[in-house]
């Protein structure tokens, strides 16, 4: 009786382990990615095209740029697709990546409530707009997570001559979360926020909020692709990863990016080899 109970427990555990045994699909790579490319639906559009062409499955882990870079540095990815050029170049210089290339661009925008308490609507100068938000002490929600968007935001504050660290917790709120979570919080607080245009376009919880500042060249948002140094990846993924990078930079990959539309608007503009 006693042994029967024990053996049935062990049998149960073995059946359970069998049920989740990893599928034998070997032709896949892992892309450590920023979130905007996933949340906007770009991957759902271009990755099936790549799969049809090569039979390679691309598994996307979409986290913030900061976390994506750290994960890739640990060797937990074959390709890095993020938007923080300086950090990407440092990644290659440190030996974690083999090569980096421009893939596409779009731009950041400053969004805020329709009532616009700081009066920045229509401004072209992003830094001046931020300075005005700071003067009005109007609530501003920051990613605060070392992501690509957060890095760009910090550059703009610096340019505006505003020390946001001192204001953190008052009108300046750091969420430490992804873009979508931050936009949800901004919606709840009637706050301003900086977001990439692609995430904003695909975002469902806009409410009465809209784009208030856009078109400043400093809001330029470049996405790069990095081939991760395969020294930490034991199996032969390097060849597949190389194929993916070559494809996304090729005419076909670039055309696939350009053809992705949300509500008739192009969200990403390919600029490989530029």
Partner 1 sequence: MESVWRIFAEAVGLILDWDSDLIEIIGLSLRVTLAAVAVSCAIGLPLGATVGAFRFPGRTAIIVLLNALMGLPPVVVGLIAYMMLSAAGPLGPLELLYTPAAMMIAQTILVTPIVAALSRQVVEDYYCEYAEQFASLGVGPFDRVTALLRDARYSLLTVALAGFGRAVAEVGAVIIVGGNINHATRVMTTAIALETSKGNLELALALGVVLLAIAVAVNGAAMTLRASAVRMAYA
Binding site for partner 1 (CB under 8 A): 1-3, 5-6, 9-10, 12-13, 15-17, 19-22, 30, 35, 39, 43-44, 59-62, 71, 74-76, 178-181, 183-184, 187, 202-206, 232-235
- The residue among 61 and 136 lying less far from partner 1, judged by its C-beta, is 61
- The residue among 13 and 93 lying less far from partner 1, judged by its C-beta, is 13
Q: How far is the CB of 73 from partner 1 (least distance, A)?
A: 8
Query: Using an 8 Å Cβ cutoff, are 110 and 129 in contact?
Result: yes
Closest CA to 187 of 171, 168, 214, 210: 210
- The residue among 12 and 122 lying less far from partner 1, judged by its C-beta, is 12
Q: How far is the CB of 212 from partner 1 (least distance, A)?
A: 18
Query: Using an 8 Å Cβ cutoff, are 157 and 128 in contact?
Result: no
Torsion of CA 140, 209, 214, 272, to 10 degrees: 100
DSSP state of 69: H
- The residue among 23 and 86 lying less far from partner 1, judged by its C-beta, is 23
Report the SS3 class of residue 118: coil
Query: Using an 8 Å Cβ cutoff, are 214 and 65 in contact?
Result: no
Q: How far is the CB of 115 from partner 1 (least distance, A)?
A: 20
Report the SS3 class of residue 45: helix
Closest CA to 57 of 237, 202, 214, 235: 237
Query: Using an 8 Å Cβ cutoff, are 68 and 20 in contact?
Result: no
- The residue among 61 and 272 lying less far from partner 1, judged by its C-beta, is 61
- The residue among 5 and 86 lying less far from partner 1, judged by its C-beta, is 5
Q: How far is the CB of 181 from partner 1 (least distance, A)?
A: 6
Q: How far is the CB of 246 from partner 1 (least distance, A)?
A: 22
Q: How far is the CB of 254 from partner 1 (least distance, A)?
A: 23
């Amino acid at each position: 009786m006693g042994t029967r109970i024990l053996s049935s427990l062990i049998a149960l555990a073995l059946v359970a382990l069998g049920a989740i045994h990893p599928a034998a699909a070997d032709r896949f790579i892992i892309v450590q990615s920023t979130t905007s490319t996933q949340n906007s639906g770009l991957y759902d559009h271009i990755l099936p095209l790549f799969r049809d062409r090569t039979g390679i499955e691309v598994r996307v882990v979409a986290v913030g740029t900061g976390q994506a870079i750290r994960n890739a540095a640990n060797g937990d990815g074959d390709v890095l697709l993020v938007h923080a050029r300086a950090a990407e170049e440092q990644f290659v210089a440190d030996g974690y990546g083999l090569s980096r290339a421009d893939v596409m661009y779009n731009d950041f925008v400053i969004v805020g409530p329709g009532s616009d308490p700081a009066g920045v609507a229509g401004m072209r100068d992003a830094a001046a707009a931020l300075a005005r938000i700071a003067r009005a002490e109007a609530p501003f929600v920051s990613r605060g997570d070392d992501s690509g968007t957060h890095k760009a935001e910090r550059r703009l504050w610096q340019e505006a001559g505003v020390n946001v660290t001192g204001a953190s917790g008052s009108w300046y709120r750091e969420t430490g979360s992804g873009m979508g979570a931050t936009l949800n919080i901004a919606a709840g607080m009637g706050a301003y926020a900086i977001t990439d245009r692609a995430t904003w376009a695909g975002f469902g919880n806009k409410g009465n909020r809209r784009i208030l500042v856009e078109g400043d060249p400093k809001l330029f948002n470049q996405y790069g692709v990095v081939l991760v140094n395969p020294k930490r990846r034991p199996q032969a993924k390097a060849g597949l990863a190389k194929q993916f990078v070559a494809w996304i930079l090729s005419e076909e990959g670039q055309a696939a990016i350009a053809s992705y539309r949300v509500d008739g608007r192009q969200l990403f503009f390919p600029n490989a080899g530029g």
